[in-house]
Each structure stands twice: as C-alpha cells, then as structure tokens.
Structure 1
Amino acid sequence: MWKVVIIDDDPNLLEGMRYAIPWKELHAEWVGEAIDGKEGLELILQSEPDIVISDIDMPMMNGLEMLEALRREQYEGKFIILSGYSDFEYARQALRLSVDDYLSKPISIESLKKVLERVIGNLEQERLKEQEAQELEQRLQDFEPYVMKEWLKSLLVGDAGKQIIRSELVQVKVEQWERQVHVVLCMELEMSDGLKNWYAFDRSLMRFAIQNVIREILDAYGIEYEYMEMNSRLYALLIHLDANEQSEQLLHTITRQSSRQIELALRDHVKLTMATGVGSFQKDWRQLGESFEQACHSLKGETLGEDKPIQGQEISSVRFFHQLAEAVRNVQEEHGNQLIAEYIAGLRADEPFHKQDVKQFVSELWVIMNYSLYDIGIELKNMYPAFEPVPEPGGEHTTDSLQRWLKEMVRTIIHSTYMNENVRHQKIVEFITQFTHEHYMEDITLGMIAEKVQVSKNYLGQIFKNVMNETFNNYITRIRMERAKGMLLEGNLYIYEVADKVGYNSISYFSTQFKKYTGYNPTDLIK
C-alpha cells in the first residue's frame, strides 16, 4: 500500500479528501494530516509517506517552503500541490522543487483521483525498476566469483592484464598484487587407474576433493593464492607473497614444499597421481602468463629458452593452445580464427617447419583441446574420427598449411552437432556443481539456483539429470554426506557440529540421511 499524507489549513477540505478518496481502489492508505507547513514537515519526516498532497498558502510555513526543507532532508517522495492561486511564480518554484503535479482549487475528487493514479503509476514503475536493478546487482554478485575465475584464466593464457574488468573482486585483487611477488604452480593429473576410477564415478566430486586437499595444505602456510581449473587434468595455482627482500626465496621454498605435499596427499588420500611444475617468479602480476607457460614446460621437464638442436623454427606455445581451446569450448569460431591469425603472424613465414616439430605441436594442442572439451562432456574422437595428426602429410609444412589445418579443425569441432546445445547445458551444470560445492552447508535448493541462472526449475532439473545422471537433490545429499564422512573420520568434531557444517539443522534427520547413504550410523565412524 502506498502511504499518503494530506496537509491543508482548511479542516473541511482535509476531512472531505480523507473520506472521499477511493483508497483501496488506488492501493493507497491515509497515514496522517496536518494544518500548517511546520506541522506537516514533522509529520512527513516521521511517517515517511510515498505521496504528499499539500496546499501552498498555509500559516507558519507555506507548502513550497515545507517542500524545500524536505528536499534538504533528502526526502524523495512524490508531491502534489494544491493552490487557489494561479501565480506563475508559484508554478516556477514548484517546477524547481520537482513537484509531481499542480492542481488549482477548487478541485474535484475525480481530478485528484486521476492525478493520484498517475503519480502512483509512476511510483510503481520506479519501484519495478529499482527491484530489477537490485535483482541484477544480486545476480552480478552471485556470478562475480565465476566472472573472476574466467578473468584469472584469461590472465594466464591471454591479455587480461591489459583490460582489468569492472569487478570489485578483481579491483581488490589487483590492488593487493601491486605490492606482492607472484608465481604459478601447475599440476597435471597423470592417467592412472585412480583417475579412471574417478572419471567413472564422479569427476565433479574428484575436483572437489582436489580443491579441498590444496586448500588445507596452502592455508597452513598462511599465504594468498587463487585456484584455477584449466581443464579436466590441468590445474593452476597463482601464489602471492608481500614483496620484500626475502619474499622470492620464501615463495620459492613454500612453492616447492607445498607442491610436494599436494602430490603426496593426493596419492595417499585421493588415489591420484599428479605431476607439478613451478613457473618463473614475477614482480609484476601482468607477467603471470609467462610464469604459467614456464610452469607448463616444467611439467614436461623442459626449460623455456634452453638451447635445443632442432631443425626449423620453434612453434609450440602452451598459451596459444589454451587460448584456442577456450575459444572452441565457448563456441567462438571468429575469435578462434583471430587467435590463429595472430599466432601465425608471429612465426617466420619464410622458414618451413620440421616434420617432427609439427607432429609435436599438433599432439600437444590435441591433448589440451581434448581435455578442455572432455570436461564439458565432448569427446573429440566421436566428432573428429578422421583426425590427421600432421597437416598435409607428405608435403612441406609451412605457416599457410598450418593455418589452414588449424582453421579447419576449429570449424569442424564448433559446427559439430555435438557442440552447441551440449556446451550450453554443460556450462549451466558446471555453474550448479561449482555453486553447490561452495554453498553445500547452506539451505540451497534447485529453485533458488534456477532463479540465478534464469531457467525454469523443472527444465533445470531435467538438464542436470541428463548431464549428471542423477537428480540435484541426490547430488547435494551425496556432496554433504561425503564431506560429513570425512569430518567424522577426522574425529575433531561432535556429530551435531558436523551436521551443522554440512547444512542440517536436525541431528536426527542428518543421522537418518547419513545411514541411508553410507549404511552406517554417524557414531560408527567416530574414532
């Protein structure tokens, strides 16, 4: 209901308007009246009405003086002026004070009703816009961590340092980074029985387990870092330390020690084998891409810039491979072709490539492309069975032949019938699983997430089930139970504390769900 006050020194007019205005029909309510401007000022500041109907010519303080005082107090309600005068000066002052309507006495209830309808209509439009703005702001806040994640990824493989996006999270990070030194630690899962078992069971749960292991180890060092998933096998950590004389050596020690601890913890607790590589140390965060590329080469036991007896020019580029894979993953053919053109332009056109170098280039690109797409449910072998590992076999390998092959590969993958709808669904589900892993301890529902991604609840539930082969409710229960099982086995918390930490207010309900999922009572797992 819209709140209205009436101010006039004529008691009969006050009473007449109070009883004659169709309040219910207008979805409005009378909340008070006053007989002069001074009394009206106090009433308005106290009751904060949406609309003020006021006479101009009143004792103590006239209507325009009262309005001017209200504007100084930041009152933003609507104002309808009533006056028996037709003086132009009054009208001019009313316009200056942003009066919403101006009626000359005597007035009819019908004319006042029309004015109120118009003013209330404006209020409703403003309220709707305000709500939409608030909802947009809330959605931006909800999605900001994911925007941040994409920006960090582009910082490692692209030119994000040149274009700092308008995000509060990014701005805060950049301010901190200006005072720090940085290094990238890359981790790559090796194909093992453990990895195959996780892929068959639940890759999203595997990613969650890896992230938890990394968090526990790095948090113990008390340093700042960002965790990035580059694809389904490659992970990157951006590690930072405040700049001083000892920082680089300390960062070097921490990075080496933590990488070894992460390798051992994943092998012993998650049954995964992971190789780690450390990049070059950077005082300028804009050079983190160079540290990332160095870390990727370090994974393979290589050093950037080392002298190697090769024929032809060096053509491998980890950053280009990841940039192109990201463009294909996001179905951005034009951007992919632009990346290819820029990459080819940086090569020497007059010098042919050695066949072995081209074969290695294509193999490395194919591995990165394969795992980037596999993470969203796309298997290249299904859409590209006739893949030729070397462009133009038997011919001379030139920049032109390499560019043609790259563009054809991008076109073939992106225009495959597997891509468009599948990618869109996978991205939605990727958001849901990431959001769930970060908020599983809260009271989250599929309906709440549906509002965030602007998809109907039923449709979202079907998408999730098609991609994950289980319902969202089963998924979040499994995430909570796996986390609860780990905390109970650690033996540091009471059962009610574990229940609370995984999103259950009722211990009995938690215990019932836990036994249903694991086959054990929570007390059976306490050491």
Structure 2
Amino acid sequence: MWTIAVVDDERQVLQGMRRIIPWRELNAKPAGEASDGEEGLKLILEQQPDIVITDIYMPVKNGLDMIEELRREQYDGKIIILSGYADFEYARQAMRLNVDDYLSKPVTVQTLKDVLGKAIGKLEEERKKALQEGERQRKLTLYEPIAKQERLKALVTGAPGFGGASWTYDDGEGDGAGRQYRVAAVEISQSGRLDGMKPADWHLFRFAVANIAAELAAELRLDVQPVELYGRQTVMLLRFPAGMTVDESRRQAVQFARRLIQAADAYLHIRIQVGIGGMKEETKVIADSTEEAFQALHTKLCVPDEAFPIFIYKRKQDAAGNKVAELRPIRHYHEIAQALAGLQQHLAAEAVERLAALLRDWPELTAAELQRVAREVWTICKYTLHETGRGLEEAFPAESVERELAELLLPAQFREWALAKIEAVCAKFSRGDNLRHRQAVDYMVRYVHEHYAEDLRLADLAEQVYISRSYLSNIFRDLAGETFNDYVTKVRMEKARSMLAEGKLMVYEIAEKVGYKNVPYFTTLFKKHTGRSPTEFVKN
C-alpha cells in the first residue's frame, strides 16, 4: 500500500485532501499531515512516505527549502507541489529540485487523481526495476564462487572458458606487480578405495584435496589457488613474489607437494602424485606451466626426492642439446570436457577438430603418443560424464575401447574415432536429458561445498534454481547417485575428518563449524560415516 503525506498551512486544504484523494482506488493510505515546512521535514524523514503533496508559502520554513533539505537527506519519494501561485520562477526551482508535478490551487478531484496515479505508476516501475536489480545482484553473489572457479579453470588450461580469455588472475594487487607463477598438477592414484565410487564422489575427493592444500598453504605462508579439473585431476596455481629465484620457487613448490602427499595419505587415505611446471612471469602463459606440470607427470623423469612421487618438468632435448618441441593438448582436453558436460556435440566436435589439426601438424608424432592422447581424451570424457550421473561402461566396454585405441596409427584415424565417439555419447544421453536439470545439480553440488557450515535446505536451493522441491530431490538423486541430505552429510563429515586430523579444535567446535549444534548427533553421524567416533579418530 502506498503512503501519502500532505504539508500545507491551510487547515481547509488538509481537510480537503483527506476527503478528495481516492485512497482505496489508489491503494493508498495517509502518512500524516504538517502545517509548516519544519514540521513537514520532520514528518517526512520519520515516516518516509511514498508521495508528498506540499504548498510553497508556509511559515517557519517554506516548501522549496523543505524540499531542498529533503533531497540533501536522500529522500527519493515523489513530490507534488500544490500552490496558489503559478509563478515561473517557483516552477523553475521546483524542476531543479526534481519535483514530479506542479499544480495550482484550486485543483479538481480528477486532476489530483490523475497526478497521483501518474506518480504511483512511476513508483511501481521503479520498484519493479529495483527488485529485478536486487535479484540480479543476488544471483551474481550466489554464482560468483562458481564463476571464479570457471575463470581460473580457463586461465590454467588456456581455454576460452567462462569469462573469456581476457580474464586474468587478480588478487587485488593487479597483474602488473611482477608476480611469478608455477602450476602443480595433482593426480589421485587409482586404488581399491576408489573402486565403484558414486558419480559425485570424485568431486568430493578433489574438494578434500583442495581443502588440505588451502590449509597447508596458510601454514607454509604460500599463495596457492586450487583449481578442480575433472576425474582424478586438480591443479594448484602457486604465486610467488617478484624477485624470487627459480631455484627457491622450485624448493617451495616441492616442499608444498611433499606435505600435500603426506596429508592426503594421512587424512584421506589416498595416494596422490604431483607434477610441477616451470616458472612463468605473466598470467597469459600460466597455461604453459600447466602443460609442463602434466608433461612431468607423464614422463616422470625428474624426481627431487625418491620417497615422494613428485616430478619436476624438464624440457626435452635432442642429442645435440637442442630443445625439442612438445605436444601440449591440455587446452583441447578442457574444451572437450566443457562441451561434453552439457552434451554440446557441435562444440565438442570443434574442439576435437582443433586437437586433430594439432596432431596432424606435429612433427614426428609416434603412434604411442597418438594413442596416449586418444586414451586421455576418452578418460576425460568418461570422468566428465560420470560426474553428471552418466556411466559409459555399459554402452562402451573398456576392452572394446582399448582395442579401438590400439588400432589408431594416424591423426586422421584419431579424428574419425573421436568424432564418432562424441556423436555416439551425445546421442545416447541426449534422449530425454534436460540440460537445465544437470546444471541445477552441478550448481547444488558446488553450493554445498561452499556453504556446508550453513543450514542447507533443499527447499531454499529449489527456489534458487526455480524447480519444485520434490522434483529437484528426484533429479539430484538420479544424477548424483544419492539423496541431497546424504550428500550434504558426506561433505560435512569429510571436512570434519580433516579438521580433527589437524588437532587444533575441540570436537564441539568442529561440530559447529560443519553445521551441527547438537554434538551427540554430530558424533553419531561421524561414527556412521567413518566407523569411528571423533575421539577414536583423533587417538588413531
């Protein structure tokens, strides 16, 4: 309901306004009356009416002075002047003060109704725009963590990705401060514990590794930004201050990798291996360090410590000591994965064409290298689709794929094989598949990892993705492989296990930090999830 205040020193005018304003028709109510400008100023600032009807000539403070002071106080309601003087100078001043209308006394009921209706129409339009802007800002706030992660992913892979290739890593100091960068590629080794995992679990493991990395970085006073890729792979973007030597940055990167391997084994009971790329001085070539980090993982040539699977990139050289060009397909892998996640066949096919062109133009490409690239493409396809709730094993048995890979000898054969596989995958999963539903579940998974300590309710997320609660519950279970509540509990328990292993907080503090005020209930869930109570876990 709209509110209207009237300021006039004539009692008859105040009484007349009460009678002739069509309150019910305008969906309005009185916000009060005042008989001079000073009293009117106080009334308006206290009540904040939507519309003010005021005279100009009044005792103590005239109407124009009152309006000028209201504008200084940021009052943004609609103001209508009702004066017995039709003076041009007054009208000019009123325009300067952003007055909405200027009426001369006496005024007819119809004229007043029209002017008020016009003012209310403007208010409705402004309120609508404000609500739309508020909703836009709310969505930006909700999606910003996801958008930032996608932009970082594009940065470290060199793919155009979300946000475009022009986006650069910025921590508030800008990109021109002479910083230096290295990328560490982290790969979770396949083990018995990882067999038969549910589709969302790989994201959970990557999230857990990223959490440990963030905590270690704080402890070691390193600037590390974890970036999840797909399946068993995560990268760590390490930033070093200007002036640090290559040897010192390598030493710090190796120290961080060693601690990360130890922590992953101790807290998560998984084995990881780390490849470390070369130092880069500009963000636009960070993707080269990523390629080098994965190249180090692949070749496993330079090992600084035999006790840990840490591999340092070293540029290949020929017999004469000349540097040899290296195949760098990571960007194309990421482009294929992005496209397949949304079953966008044409984009995936375009990425394959670019990768095939790279292979075709590569000097002295061996069949072994070609088959390795094809195997990595298929592995990425498999993991990407697994994480959206789709399994490839039934339709594309591993033995059959391996036979096909062994037959690839030429780039043209790779191109034909990859395009056929993408067409078959998209045809299989596009039938009856709703991209909006997959995007909603992906958003929910990421939201849980960002807000696990808060009161997470499916109904609230349903409002955010504009899908009914019951329907969203079914979608999440179908695509993620478990219920929303089970997934939230799993994320919280993994985070609690990491905190307990650090030994810095009491059990009740950890319970609260992962979203539980009832400590006994937290203890019961933890034991159900890990097989041990928090106290037993700490002792072991």
The match for 2:491 is: 479
| Counterpart AA for 1:48 | Q
Distance in 1, Cα, partners of 2:234 & 2:366: 31
Q: Is the 8 A contact 2:84 2:104 kept in 1?
A: yes
Query: 2:259 matched to which residue of 1?
Result: 261
Q: Tell me, yes or no, if the aligned pair for 1:484 and 1:502 is still in contact at 8 Å.
A: yes
Partner residue in 2 for 1:361: 373
Give the CA deviation at 1:145: 0.9
Equivalent runs, 1:478-497 vs 2, <5 Å: 478-484=490-496, 487=499, 492-497=504-509
Aligned residue in 2 for 1:272: 270
Matched residue SS, 1:417: helix
Would the aligned equivalents of 1:321 and 1:369 in 2 still touch at CA under 8 Å?
Answer: no
How big is the shift at 1:195?
2.0
Q: Distance in 1 between matches of 2:431 and 2:149?
A: 23
Counterpart of 1:460 in structure 2 is 472
1:259 maps to a residue whose letter is A
The CA distance in 1 between the partners of 2:225 and 2:335, in whole Å, is 19
Residues 267 and 498 in structure 2, CA contact (< 8 A), matched pair in contact too: no
Answer yes or no: is the 8 Å Cα contact 2:5–2:52 preserved in 1.
yes
1:22: Cα distance to partner?
Answer: 5.3
CA gap 1:52/1:260 in 2 versus in 1, 3 angstroms: same
In the alignment, structure 1 residue 375 sits paired with structure 2 residue 387: yes
Determine if the alignment matches structure 1 residue 429 to structure 2 residue 447. no
Distance 1:163 1:521 in 2: 44
Determine the C-alpha separation between the residues in 2 that align with 1:225 and 1:264: 17
- Please give the per-residue CA displacement for 1:211-261, whole angstroms capped at 9, x wherever unaligned: 333233222112111111111111100011222244x43321121122122
Q: CA–CA distance in 1 between the matches of 2:66 and 2:188?
A: 72
**Match of 2:341?**
329
Q: Name the aligned partner's letter for residue 136 of structure 1.
A: R
Q: 1:242 to 1:177 in 2, by over 3 A?
A: farther
After superposition, the Cα gap between the structure-2 partners of 1:260 and 1:345, relative to the gap in structure 1 and judged at 3 Å, is same
Cα separation, 2, equivalents of 1:441 and 1:215: 17
Shift of 1:51: 1.3
Structure 1 unaligned runs (5+)?
none
Q: Tell me the distance in 1 between the aligned counterparts of 2:353 and 2:533.
A: 61
The letter for the 1-side match of 2:101 is D
Q: Distance in 2 between matches of 1:129 and 1:367?
A: 47
| Paired residues of 1:217 and 1:258 also in contact (CA < 8 A) | yes
> 1:290 Cα deviation (Å)?
0.2
C-alpha displacement of 1:143: 0.8
What is the correspondence of 1:269-418 to structure 2 with a 5 Å cutoff? Answer: 269-301=267-299, 305-307=315-317, 317-343=329-355, 354-384=366-396, 397=410, 402-418=414-430
Tell me which residue corresponds to 2:241. 242
* Aligned residues between the structures: 521
Q: Relative to structure 1, is the Cα distance of residues 458 and 478 closer, same or farther in structure 2, using a 3 angstrom cutoff?
A: same
Mapped to 2, the partners of 1:127 and 1:68 lie a distance apart of: 23
- Residues 1:157 and 1:125: Cα distance change in structure 2 (over 3 Å): same
Equivalent of 1:439, from 438, 451, 458?
451
CA apart distance, 1:162: 12
The aligned residue for residue 2 of structure 1 is 2
* 1:172-251 equivalent positions in 2, closer than 5 A: 172=171, 175=174, 178-196=177-195, 198=197, 202-246=201-245, 248-251=246-249
Deviation at 1:188, TM superposition (A): 1.1
1:98-137: CA deviation from partner (whole Å, max 9, x where unpaired): 3323333222445434433442333233223212211211
C-alpha distance in 2 between matches for 1:447 and 1:234: 32
Give the C-alpha shift of residue 510 in structure 1: 4.4
Which residue is 1:122 aligned to?
122
Inter-partner Cα distance in structure 1 for 2:117 and 2:200: 61
Q: Match of 2:388, as an amino acid?
A: I
Aligned partner of 2:307 in structure 1 is none
Moved more, 281-290 or 77-86: 77-86
Aligned 8 A contact 1:17 1:109 in 2: no
Tell me the equivalent position of 1:104.
104
Letter in 2 for 1:397: L
Task: Single out whichever of 497-506 and 404-413 deviates more from structure 2.
Answer: 404-413
Judged with a 3 Å threshold, the aligned counterparts in structure 2 of structure 1 residues 500 and 381 are, in CA distance, closer, same or farther, namely closer
Following the alignment from structure 2 to structure 1, what is the Cα–Cα distance between the partners of residues 24 and 96? Answer: 32
TM superposition shift of 1:282: 0.9
Measured after TM superposition, the shift of residue 141 of structure 1 is 1.2
Q: Distance in 1 between matches of 2:10 and 2:522?
A: 67
- After superposition, give the CA deviation of every residue in 1:266-286 in whole Å (9 maximum; x if it has no partner): 234323222210001111122
RMSD, aligned α-carbons: 3.9
* Aligned equivalents of 1:489, 1:279: Cα separation in 2: 30
Q: Which residue of 2 aligns with 1:145?
A: 145
CA shift in 2, pair 1:466/1:102, >3 Å: same
One-letter amino acid of the structure 2 residue matched with residue 217 of structure 1: L
Does the aligned pair in 2 maintain the 1:231–1:372 contact within 8 Å? yes
Question: Per-residue CA shift, 1:57-102, capped at 9, x if unaligned?
Answer: 4455543454344334433210112133445555555444433233
CA deviations on 1:380-421 (whole Å, 9 max, x unpaired) are 444556758769969x8366x654544444333333335882
- Paired residue type of 1:98: N
Instruction: Tell me which amino acid in the other structure corresponds to 1:417.
Output: F
* Offset of residue 304 of structure 1: 6.6
**Structure 1 residue 350 displacement after superposition:** 11
- SS of corresponding position for 1:300: helix
CA displacement at 1:185 relative to structure 2: 0.4
| CA distance in structure 1 between the aligned counterparts of 2:356 and 2:202, rounded to whole angstroms | 36
Partner of 1:501: 513
How far apart in 2 are the matches of 1:19 and 1:92?
A: 30
Q: Secondary structure at the match of 1:277?
A: strand
CA distance in 1, matches of 2:222, 2:494: 28
- Structure 2: which amino acid aligns with 1:12? Q
CA distance in 2, matches of 1:284, 1:174: 14
Aligned AA for 1:411? Answer: E
**1:333-362 CA-partner distances (Å, limit 9, x unpaired):** 443344445455556669796544433332
Q: What are structure 2's unaligned runs of at least 5 residues?
A: 301-312, 320-324
Between the aligned partners of 1:113 and 1:125, the Cα distance in structure 2 is 18
Of residues 435-444 and 223-232 in structure 1, the stretch that sits farther from structure 2 once superposed is: 435-444
Cα distance, 1:193–1:22 mapped onto 2, change above 3 Å:
same
Secondary structure of the corresponding residue to residue 98 of structure 1: coil
- Which has the larger displacement, 341-350 or 215-224? 341-350
